[in-house]
Structure 1
């Protein structure tokens, strides 16, 4: 039986200031910005270090840029199709989700910024989403039980991953 895909309405940067669900995290890394960027754009990316991400597949050829697409499968079996609307090579990438295998999200955007620091680099990450009903009624539980722990492992797991792969 073919996979059923539900459309997710594309969104942009304004969602970061208006979304009912918003998460942000930063982490300082003792690695140059180029290495941090490479870890974020390797073939399986956060599937290596994020609890909750089972598989990441780039569906566009390299070199990546605006319009690049990928699919991310979560540990719970949800698959998201993402399209990058910003790609500043080596510095920033931002995507909007365009489809999902469950009718959970109305909008979802995610942003990654890598900056050089005197001691290495800093990654700043933002995530913003709006849920469809009936999921929107479960927002406090979903945020506390699923989204926040996944966000902590997503950003917090990167330093250990990079240290282990030096």
Structure 2
């Protein structure tokens, strides 16, 4: 696993299903409209290097499954702050939806974590991207969530703005 030796040990996270995005103890959601077709949005989602541009906490993405991507696809993501995550996709409908959960992570207080990206075709070469984050954390982080939650929500909106600008710079459809 790339980078795991320098980051430290990884810990198992609880497997989740799509219902977790409705029932998790901590849930966030943000949306943005972009000048791109759903297919173009997914081209960006499938580009490992693009993630490091529009999601600055991400330092490296490595797809560990071959294309075509689908349910069961895996990737490893290295993030700032020393977080390494092994992800498995639990939903993949190209042009519509992709969702993953952390199978393993280098921060043991992440008991369960997932992200869900839904893309809605608005017509005319435009789409709405909705990003949902759901998690269950342990330890002191559980107590901090009411305070940090609003900051994370602002961060999601900021990163979706970066996605919109990335799409504008790199062109559509």
Quick one: which of 138, 142, 150 aligns to 1:136? 142
Alignment match, 2:69:
64
CA deviation profile, 1:85-128 (whole Å, cap 9, x unmatched):
11112221111111101112111111111121134111111110
8 Å Cα contact 1:12/1:109 also seen in 2: no
Shift of 1:9: 0.4
Count of residue pairs the alignment pairs up: 165
Q: Shift in Å at residue 142 of structure 1?
A: 3.2
2:11 to 6, 11, 23: 6
TM-score by length of 2: 0.87
CA contact (8 A) 1:78 1:100 kept: yes
Larger proportion of helix: 2
- Structure 2 gap ranges (5+): none
Instruction: Provide the aligned C-alpha RMSD in A.
Output: 1.7
Which residue of the other structure, out of 39, 51, 54, is the alignment partner of 2:56?
51
Shift of 1:34: 1.3
Q: Structure 1 regions of 5+ residues with no counterpart?
A: none
